[in-house]
Amino acid sequence: MRQIVIEGKRLAKWLRTAFEDDCGVVFLPCGAFDNELKAMLCLGYDVAPVIQHDGHIYAPASWLAQEYPRHAEAIHTIVARIAQTKPGDCEAGNVDARASQPSGAGQTGASRKANVEKK
């Protein structure tokens, strides 16, 4: 697991932090897109992987792009930039972050939204 922190002071460190797992999956902070508790519940329902670090929730960029389509272009840009970095380009290294697989029904975000709208 690689932690990437973008340099700067305008945003809190957790908002400038991303993770990349050994398979190349990029995790971004949920709080940048929505309420973290709401995102955590949706991630659990979708049985999506989660990283918890310093009291914040990080979700796979692909999941975030699907759930927040108006931010998809920015998310894809961030992922592409991270893919171009090498360890040492940023403040990167191994982290003591806990990755978990929350339990859930396994529906996609779209099917979950359809079920909510039917009720």
Q: What is the pLDDT of residue 114?
A: 37
Domain region containing 77: 2-110
- 19 within domain boundaries: yes
Work out the pLDDT band at 87, boundaries 50, 70, 90: low
DSSP 8: -
- 116 within domain boundaries: no
Q: What is the mean pLDDT of the chain?
A: 78
Note whether 27 and 18 are within 8 A (CB). Answer: yes
Report the number of distinct structural domains present in the chain.
1
CA distances from 115 to 57, 73, 118 (A): 25, 27, 5
Q: Is the pTM higher than 0.75? A: no
CA angle (66, 72, 76) in 5-degree steps = 110
- 118 within domain boundaries: no
What is the C-alpha to C-alpha distance for residues 24 and 2, in angstroms, rounded to an integer?
9
At 68, list the tokens. 């927040």
Q: How many residues does the chain have?
A: 119
